[in-house]
Amino acid sequence: MHSYDPEQIESKWQQYWQQKKTFKTPENHEKPKYYVLDMFPYPSGSGLHVGHPEGYTATDIVARYKRMNDFNVLHPIGWDAFGLPAEQYAVKTGTHPRDTTEKNVNNFRKQLQALGFSYDWDREVNTTDPDYYKWTQWIFLKLYEKGLAYEDEVPVNWCAQLGTVLANEEVIDGKSEVGGYPVVKKPMRQWVLKITEYADRLLEGLDELDWPHSTKEMQRNWIGKSIGADIDFEVAADYTDLTDEESQIRVFTTRPDTIFGATYMVLAPEHHLADKITTPEQQQKVEDYREKAAKKSDLERTELSKQKTGVFSGAYAINPATGEEIPIWMADYVLATYGTGAIMAVPGQDQRDWEFAEKYNLSITRTVQPSADFEGQAYTGEGDAINSDFLNGLGIEKAKEKIISWLEENEHGKKAVNYKLRDWLFSRQRYWGEPFPIIHVDGEPKPVDKDNLPVTLPEMDDFEPTDTGEPPLAKVKDWVNTTDPETGKPAVRETNTMPQWAGSCWYYLRYCSPDFEGGPVDPKEEDYWMPVDLYIGGAEHSVLHLLYARFWHKVLYDCGVLKTTEPFQKLVHQGMILGQMEYTGYKYKGKWISADEIDDLDNVENVKLNEEEVGKQGDDYVIKDTDFKIDAKAHKMSKSRGNVINPDDIIAQYGADSMRLYEMFMGPLDQVKPWNTNDVDGVYRFLGRVWRLMIDQGSGELLDAITEREPTQEQLKTLHECIQKVTGDIEELSFNTAISAMMIFVNKANKWDELPITVMESFLKLLSPFAPHICEELWQKLGHKETIAYSPWPEFKEEYLVEESITYPVQVNGKVRANIEVAAENAKNKEFVLNLAKEDDNVQRYLDDGTLVKEIFVPERIINFVVK
């Protein structure tokens, strides 16, 4: 038997590609380049999940397509291999994280190779390799030299269970993103990177990038630039123990134009003046309140829907615009960490302030004329200033300008910009991360000389975090205690390590010249390959990884290390693959009922249905051949649900080509979609059909139908329709529709008696980026000695799409008796066409059976003769 046998074909070609180094990146810089990048995986113990091959197949198709279009292609892969799981496993089992990582990497590599991805395996990078992290440390030193890395005693997010500090971004609702453990604030000495210095450039750079709109928006929101004013309010009563400086409370506002409506002030409960200004009578109440506020997360505190709480300080401030005394309150809806930690409250225009003012009976003044139909509370829309003295009548923007000049003239404040972005907390109390290239001499940090990099991780076997927050590395005394090579003084090494983000901030640069010894990247190679032309990966990384990588890239640009200012020109997120759809029907007293009917019934029985039992009516899922609506849902794949699909199983059953093709056929790349094993079967059968189109099942040789004959007009038209569609679709990353087009081609080709070699060659080229193994095999059967991977992509020729003739089916009494070809220019000439039809031998025979009583002619469609 010589039927389609992916197992045999696929391992054969995988070996071929590896031995011949088919996908080695060209060294020359003579052709146009294309750099197509995957987000490199964290090599977890559980191996690939189905989400990996989704993005990786997409980039692989593009890489292969570009090679066939005569680009030099850089398509690399590597391992983001530092991180918590390997370390936690080490704590549990004593296995060194290095060993776990190596084992997992080997497994991942094997799995990726089994999918036939066209990576240049000579450019593999691994963030845990000292030859790699040497340069991560080198980049850190650059940051340090530029004053962008500093030590600070900061209130950090301390997670006792994980034994580490977490970045704000890694804390969700007061719990660790990994594991969901409680996180508390605690002051600790940490390394911090001054990403805030790059806030504006990180914002501006977004404009030139071809990224999903939502991802850019997330970056913009994360940076959170607000333009407004800082305004100083003077504390009114005379507090003898307040210094001049302390008696000015500075607020940040985006609406300085509303200052005439500032009827009270609010300080964050943690504000540094909170104690000082509180009057003795209010002391106790304020203390109680502050204690309560400390226990809430920022999110809880600022939730719009939340009941506002607060406490009066007893003190007053003077509104610089009105000269009036306004009470100073403390409330937890104002955060200490944003702006100045204090606000002027304008209940007339701010809803939170409105709710607070109502609750505590504070006065409300509107300073913007609401539109006529307005019925709400605080008015945040456009309108002319009212109750605002010299601002009256001005629109918001004009009023802002005017009040800012006034504030500046009178030294009450100035224009100000605020960012939500905070400096990046860059140290972790972990073993399995990059050591900092820093020693401490006489208590002061000192960079390790670049010639002495890398600072390697010392050997140790007790990876347990300490509950004081001291990093595990602190236990390795003979590593920690060292001497300063410059002065000979005793020194201690930094025992924190870098966060996992560090290695992934610049890996895309290392791929350009993985063995370069003069720096993180060879300038010549960076100049040629960068920026990345297409970057595909999950949306879950959109804010952090992308922001951090862009930050480092810009710093390296400023240091003269890079010529490009942005790393990733085009970015696409693959949509999540959910588990198989689950269908639930409902029974009441033993009879099916519709999903809409269950609301008012008790004891309804839920019945799981399998796919064969399910039908569709419009958008509704129903029990097949009935009107009973059912529920259809797809959940995230998870171990606990037991709906995880293992790519290895699919490859074992159907082969890598089917796996690749299926994941691309599921739907648009960027959309969320449920897995469906039946459909894998469908694409597998499609590949079987391609095989049988060309191969004799008995001999395993090419069929006689594959000939040297010139293709017919119809064959050329069918082929070129397919070339046009597949080419355009790959350019648009619309892989599912490209596959449909190839299925249409095969359906048509199945009906041809002869298949011209040239047509089949072109078709194989189109299919090869998607299903490379079967295409290599058939390409070879056609007599080619070289891989299909560099054969030129078929050129689309418009001329073949033009209809040169039209085929009329000719019916006699409703039955088709012939098909006649009519040249396009005569096709609408009724008399001409009918005469031609009557000349056909077969038609003539049926016409001779009786008398022709009627001729029906539908131009360009059909002819029918009625005979009696």
- When binding is defined by CB under 6 A, the residue of 258, 718, 727, 864 that contacts ligand ANZ is 258
Query: CB under 6 A: which stretch of 198-206, 334-342, 560-568, 834-842 binds ligand ANZ?
Result: 334-342
Is 317 near ligand ANZ (CB under 6 A)? no
Q: Measured from the CB of residue 408, what is the shortest distance to ligand ANZ in angstroms? A: 18
Q: How many residues are given for the chain?
A: 868
Is 349 near ligand ANZ (CB under 6 A)? yes
C-alpha 701/C-alpha 695 separation (Å) is: 6
Is 386 near ligand ANZ (CB under 6 A)? no
Do residues 328 and 342 touch, judged by C-beta distance below 8 A? Answer: no
Is 482 near ligand ANZ (CB under 6 A)? no
What are the Cα distances from residue 616, in Å, to 625, 666, 671? 9, 18, 21
Query: CB under 6 A: which stretch of 77-85, 87-95, 339-347, 683-691 binds ligand ANZ?
Result: 339-347
Nearer to ligand ANZ, 415 or 692 (CB): 415
Is 344 near ligand ANZ (CB under 6 A)? yes
C-alpha 837/C-alpha 863 separation (Å) is: 8
Going through 272-406 in order, the beta strands assigned E by DSSP cover 310-318, 325-331, 342-345
Do residues 643 and 579 touch, judged by C-beta distance below 8 A? Answer: yes
Nearer to ligand ANZ, 301 or 692 (CB): 301
C-alpha 161/C-alpha 183 separation (Å) is: 9
Nearer to ligand ANZ, 255 or 573 (CB): 255
Query: CB under 6 A: which stretch of 75-83, 333-341, 704-712, 795-803 binds ligand ANZ?
Result: 333-341
| Window 259-278: contact mask with ligand ANZ (x via CB under 6 A) | ---------x----------
Cis peptide before 531 (omega within 30 of 0): yes
Would you put residue 771 in left (φ > 0), alpha (ψ -120 to 50) or beta?
beta
Nearer to ligand ANZ, 308 or 475 (CB): 308
The torsion angles phi and psi of 777, rounded to 5 degrees, stand at: -65, -45
The DSSP bridge pattern shows strands 815-823 and 805-812 to be antiparallel
Is 341 near ligand ANZ (CB under 6 A)? yes
Do residues 128 and 103 touch, judged by C-beta distance below 8 A? Answer: no
Q: Measured from the CB of residue 527, what is the shortest distance to ligand ANZ in angstroms? A: 40
Nearer to ligand ANZ, 221 or 626 (CB): 221
The DSSP bridge pattern shows strands 620-623 and 614-617 to be antiparallel
Nearer to ligand ANZ, 40 or 379 (CB): 379
Q: Measured from the CB of residue 99, what is the shortest distance to ligand ANZ in angstroms? A: 48
Nearer to ligand ANZ, 9 or 364 (CB): 364
Query: CB under 6 A: which stretch of 23-31, 212-220, 344-352, 596-604 binds ligand ANZ?
Result: 344-352
Is 322 near ligand ANZ (CB under 6 A)? no
Q: Measured from the CB of residue 543, what is the shortest distance to ligand ANZ in angstroms? A: 17
- When binding is defined by CB under 6 A, the residue of 140, 338, 621, 628 that contacts ligand ANZ is 338
What are the Cα distances from residue 99, in Å, to 90, 95, 276? 9, 7, 57
- When binding is defined by CB under 6 A, the residue of 39, 115, 326, 334 that contacts ligand ANZ is 334
Half-sphere exposure of 850 (CA within 13 A, CB side): 9
Query: CB under 6 A: which stretch of 337-345, 433-441, 472-480, 749-757 binds ligand ANZ?
Result: 337-345
Nearer to ligand ANZ, 335 or 705 (CB): 335
Q: Measured from the CB of residue 276, what is the shortest distance to ligand ANZ in angstroms? A: 19
What are the Cα distances from residue 695, in Å, to 3, 6, 702, 722, 742? 8, 14, 5, 22, 18
| DSSP secondary structure letter of residue 828 | T
The footprint of ligand ANZ on residues 196-255 (CB under 6 A) is 226, 252-255
Q: Measured from the CB of residue 351, what is the shortest distance to ligand ANZ in angstroms? A: 9
Nearer to ligand ANZ, 387 or 418 (CB): 418
What SS3 string covers 494-553?
CCCECCCHHHHCCHHHHCCCCCCCCCCCCHHHHHHHCCECEEECCHHHCCHHHHHHHHHH
What are the Cα distances from residue 325, in Å, to 278, 318, 428, 566? 16, 5, 48, 51
Q: Measured from the CB of residue 346, what is the shortest distance to ligand ANZ in angstroms? A: 4
- When binding is defined by CB under 6 A, the residue of 159, 343, 480, 778 that contacts ligand ANZ is 343
For residue 165, give the 3-state DSSP assignment: strand
| DSSP secondary structure letter of residue 158 | E
Do residues 207 and 566 touch, judged by C-beta distance below 8 A? Answer: no
Is 350 near ligand ANZ (CB under 6 A)? yes
Q: Measured from the CB of residue 397, what is the shortest distance to ligand ANZ in angstroms? A: 14
C-alpha 674/C-alpha 265 separation (Å) is: 52
Structure tokens at 748: 């048509």
Q: Measured from the CB of residue 723, what is the shortest distance to ligand ANZ in angstroms? A: 52
Nearer to ligand ANZ, 343 or 716 (CB): 343
Nearer to ligand ANZ, 183 or 396 (CB): 396
C-alpha 306/C-alpha 835 separation (Å) is: 84
Structure tokens at 58: 């997409």
What are the Cα distances from residue 365, in Å, to 260, 358, 412? 8, 12, 21
Q: Measured from the CB of residue 420, what is the shortest distance to ligand ANZ in angstroms? A: 7
Nearer to ligand ANZ, 346 or 448 (CB): 346
Nearer to ligand ANZ, 378 or 571 (CB): 378
Nearer to ligand ANZ, 37 or 343 (CB): 343
Nearer to ligand ANZ, 222 or 252 (CB): 252
The footprint of ligand ANZ on residues 494-513 (CB under 6 A) is none
What are the Cα distances from residue 714, in Å, to 690, 725, 752? 19, 17, 10
Query: CB under 6 A: which stretch of 345-353, 711-719, 786-794, 837-845 binds ligand ANZ?
Result: 345-353
Query: CB under 6 A: which stretch of 335-343, 404-412, 426-434, 665-673 binds ligand ANZ?
Result: 335-343
# chain residues binding ligand ANZ, by CB under 6 A:
18
Is 335 near ligand ANZ (CB under 6 A)? yes
What SS3 string covers 212-270?
CHHHHHHHHHHHCEEEEEEEEEEECCCCCCCCCCCCEEEEEECCHHHHHHCCEEEECCC
Q: Measured from the CB of residue 254, what is the shortest distance to ligand ANZ in angstroms? A: 4
Using N-to-C axis directions, what is the helix angle for 677-694 and 757-767, rounded to 10°? 150
* Distance between start and end Cα atoms, the chain: 54
Nearer to ligand ANZ, 418 or 677 (CB): 418
Q: Measured from the CB of residue 224, what is the shortest distance to ligand ANZ in angstroms? A: 7
What SS3 string covers 660-721?
HHHHHHCCCCCCCEECCHHHHHHHHHHHHHHHHHHECCCCCCECCCEECCCCCHHHHHHHHH
Q: Measured from the CB of residue 627, what is the shortest distance to ligand ANZ in angstroms? A: 51
Nearer to ligand ANZ, 269 or 465 (CB): 269
- When binding is defined by CB under 6 A, the residue of 53, 339, 503, 537 that contacts ligand ANZ is 339
Nearer to ligand ANZ, 70 or 303 (CB): 303
Q: Which residue's entry shows tokens 């690749």?
A: 660
- When binding is defined by CB under 6 A, the residue of 392, 418, 564, 643 that contacts ligand ANZ is 418
Q: Measured from the CB of residue 302, what is the shortest distance to ligand ANZ in angstroms? A: 6
Q: Which residues of 192-222 are buried (b: 16+ CB within 10 A; e: fewer)?
A: bbbbbbbbebbbebbeebebbeebbebbeeb
Residue ranges in contact with ligand ANZ by CB under 6 A: 226, 252-255, 258, 268, 334-335, 338-339, 341, 343-344, 346, 349-350, 418
